[in-house]
Amino acid sequence: MTDLIHPVILCGGSGTRLWPASRESFPKQFIPLAEPGRSSFQATAARLGDAATFARPAVITANDARFLVAEQLAQGGIKADILLEPCRRDSAPAVAVATLHAAARDAQALVLILPADHAVGDDAAFVQAAQAARAGARAGHIMTLGIAPTHPSTAYGYIQPGTSLSGEAGEAGARAVDRFLEKPDAARAAGLIAEGALWNGGYFLFRADVMLDELEAHAPAVLEAARAAVETATRDLDFVRLDEAAFARAPQISIDYAVMERTSRAGVLPVSFPWSDIGTWGALWEVSTRDADGNALRGRVAVQGTRNSLVHSAGEILTTVVGLDDVVVVTTDDAVLVTSRSGGAEVKGLVDTLRRQGEPEADAHRLMYRPWGSYQRIDVGARFQVKRITVKPGGRLSLQKHHHRAEHWVVVRGTAEVTVDGTVRLVHENEAAYLPIGCVHRLVNPGKIPLELIEVQVGSYTGEDDIIRIEDVYGREGR
C-alpha cells in the first residue's frame, strides 16, 4: 500500500435545478458556471493535479455523457479512467464500482470520492484536507470532510462530530462521527451549528478493503451487482463500460443511506475552505464574483436599477433587467428562466412540468455533443432544417443514409472529406456538396483544424431518427 490517493469523480448527475443552463443532455457539472471558461468537473479534476498526492483519477459517468467527459478532460490535459454507468443508480453503486476498480490494483488503495459539481474556493486547502484525512483512512475509518457552516443552510446535510480519533488520525484533526443529520429546517440548522455540527460535503476517503467490508455488511445487494458489473465490464475506446444487466440489479440508494449512516467506522475531518454544492441559482450567486451593486453578471447582459441579482446569458441573447432586486435571470439560446434568488429550489418542479408537456427544452440542448464534434440546429421550417456542424480534426461521422431528406453541405471553415455512394472527394472552404435522398454518405475531417459546415436538409421529414447507420468507428447506434 502506498500513500497515493486514488480519486474517483462522481459525474453522473443530471442537475435540473440549474435549468435552463443545465439539462439532461448537458448537466451542470459540465458547464462553466462558478468560473468563466471552466466547468466544475474540469475544476474538480484539475484540483487533483499533484502527482505526489493523487494517482490517476477515475470518472464515473452516465453512458450518454462519455464523449463530453472525454472532451473536457482532454481540454484540461488530464488522463483518467472513464467508467460508464449503463443506467442511473444513485451513489452507493457508483462508490462500490469505484472501490472495486481501485481494489483490483491494490486491495488497500486509498480511495477519494468527489462530486463533480461542487465549487471549492481554495484548491490548496482542499488538497491539504485530503492529505490530512489520509491517516484516518489508513487506520480503517471512512473519512468525510465536515465543512464549517457559514450560514444555517437548509440545503445541506450535517455531521455531528464526536471525540478525536486516536493516534496519527486524531493528531491530524480527525474525529469520530456522532451522527449524520438530514437537511434540517432553518431553526434546527441554527441549533445544529450552535452545537458544532458541520456540513456534509459528500467527500469520502477510505481504504478499498474497508469500504468493501462495510458494503458487504450493510449493502450486500449493491456490492454484488457492482462486482458483477465490473467483472463483466468491456473496454470501448477509452471507456470501461459496466455490464448493463448486472449494474441494473443494484438497488438505487445513496452511499449515505447505504453505508455512512450505518457504519461504526465513519470519521470526519473538520475543514473550513469556501465550498458550495451549487445546488440552485441562488447558491451560484453566493459563490460568484459580484459587482458593487451585488450583481453577478455573466455574458451579454445589461442591468439598470437592479441589485443583488444573478443575470447569466449563456448564449448570444442580450439579457436585460430593469428595476428589480434579488432576481435570477438565466438565458440560453432557446430558453429563459426568471425567478427569485431564494426560490431556486422550485426550478426542478418547473422542469418536471415542462417534461410532462413534452417541451424539448426540458432535457435537450440545441448544441449536441457527439464523439466526432457537435451540431446545432440553427433554423427549421415545414420541409427543411439547417444545422451548423463542427467536426474535430480526425473526426468521422458514421457511414449513413436517409430515407426522407436530401442534404446540402457548405464548408465554411476547414476541409471535408465527403464520401457519396463510394466516391470520395475533398470539399474546401466555400465549396458545397450535395447528398441526394437515399445516397450512402460519410463526412470526415481529414485536416488539422476544426471543420465547420452548414447543412441544409430538405425533405418531408428531417427528424434525427431518419439515420440508417451502415458503419461507425465509435460503435454508436445514433448519428
Which residues of this protein are in contact with a second copy, per CB under 8 A?
A: 20, 302, 304-305, 313, 316-324, 327, 329, 331, 333-340, 343, 346-347, 349-350, 353-354, 357, 359, 361, 378-379, 381-384, 386, 388, 406, 408, 410, 412-413, 429-430, 432, 434, 452, 454, 456, 458-459
Q: How many CB atoms lie within 10 A of CB 140?
A: 14
Smallest distance, a second copy to C-beta of residue 399, A = 22
Smallest distance, a second copy to C-beta of residue 188, A = 23
Shorter beta-carbon distance to a second copy: residue 40 or 306: 306
Shorter beta-carbon distance to a second copy: residue 135 or 337: 337
213: Cβ contacts below 8 Å, ≥ 6 apart: none
Smallest distance, a second copy to C-beta of residue 185, A = 19
Alpha helices in 341-388 (DSSP H): 347-356
Q: Classify residue 48 by its DSSP letter.
A: T
Nearest Cα neighbor of 96 from 9, 5, 211 is 211
Smallest distance, a second copy to C-beta of residue 333, A = 8
Shorter beta-carbon distance to a second copy: residue 122 or 429: 429
Smallest distance, a second copy to C-beta of residue 320, A = 5
Shorter beta-carbon distance to a second copy: residue 185 or 316: 316
Shorter beta-carbon distance to a second copy: residue 24 or 361: 361
Distances (CA, A) of 177 to 50, 146, 209: 29, 10, 20
Alpha carbons 295 and 316: distance in angstroms, whole number: 20
Smallest distance, a second copy to C-beta of residue 11, A = 27
Smallest distance, a second copy to C-beta of residue 226, A = 38
Alpha carbons 361 and 363: distance in angstroms, whole number: 5
Smallest distance, a second copy to C-beta of residue 338, A = 5
Torsion angles phi and psi, residue 312, rounded to 5: -135, 110
- 237: region left, alpha or beta (phi > 0 left; psi from -120 to 50 alpha): left
Shorter beta-carbon distance to a second copy: residue 95 or 427: 427
Nearest Cα neighbor of 401 from 305, 468, 453 is 468
CB 476 within 8 A of CB 404: no
387: Cβ contacts below 8 Å, ≥ 6 apart: 375, 376, 377, 378, 454, 455, 457
Shorter beta-carbon distance to a second copy: residue 99 or 319: 319
Shorter beta-carbon distance to a second copy: residue 349 or 463: 349
Q: Which amino acid is at 327?
A: V
Alpha carbons 64 and 151: distance in angstroms, whole number: 37
140: Cβ contacts below 8 Å, ≥ 6 apart: 207, 210, 265
